[in-house]
A and B are shown apart, each in its own frame.
Chain A
Amino acid sequence: NAGVTQTPKFQVLKTGQSMTLQCAQDMNHNSMYWYRQDPGMGLRLIYYSASEGTTDKGEVPNGYNVSRLNKREFSLRLESAAPSQTSVYFCASMVAGSSNEEQYFGPGTRLTVT
Chain B
Amino acid sequence: QKEVEQNSGPLSVPEGAIASLNCTYSDRGSQSFFWYRQYSGKSPELIMFIYSNGDKEDGRFTAQLNKASQYVSLLIRDSQPSDSATYLCAVPIYNFNKFYFGSGTKLNVKP
Contact = CB atoms under 8 A, between A and B. Distances in A.
Interface in A57-114: 58-59, 90, 97-103, 105-108
Interface stretch (A11-19, A21-29, A35-43): A35-43
A87 B90 CA distance: 20
13 contacts: A42-B103, A43-B90, A45-B98, A45-B99, A48-B97, A90-B43, A97-B95, A97-B96, A98-B96, A99-B32, A99-B92, A100-B51, A103-B90
B31 interface: yes
Question: Which 7 residue pairs of A and B lie closest in terms of their CB atoms, listed nearest first?
Answer: A42-B103, A105-B43, A97-B96, A43-B101, A97-B97, A102-B46, A50-B97
Contact of A48 (B98, B102, B103): B98
Interface residues of A, number: 26
A31 B98 CA distance: 9
B92 to A, nearest CB: 7
Determine chain A's interface SS by DSSP, over half rule.
loop
A37 B68 CA distance: 30
Interface of B: 6, 8, 31-32, 34, 42-46, 49, 51, 88, 90, 92, 94-104
A45 B100 contact: yes
Interface of A: 31, 33, 35, 40-45, 48, 50, 56, 58-59, 90, 97-103, 105-108
Contacts of B90: 43, 103
Contacts of B97: 31, 48, 50, 97
Contact of B8 (A33, A40, A105): A40
B67 to A, nearest CB: 14
B32 A100 contact: yes
B31 A99 contact: yes
A45 B101 CA distance: 9
Nearest to A33: B99
Contacts of B8: 40
A50 B96 CA distance: 10
B96 A102 contact: no
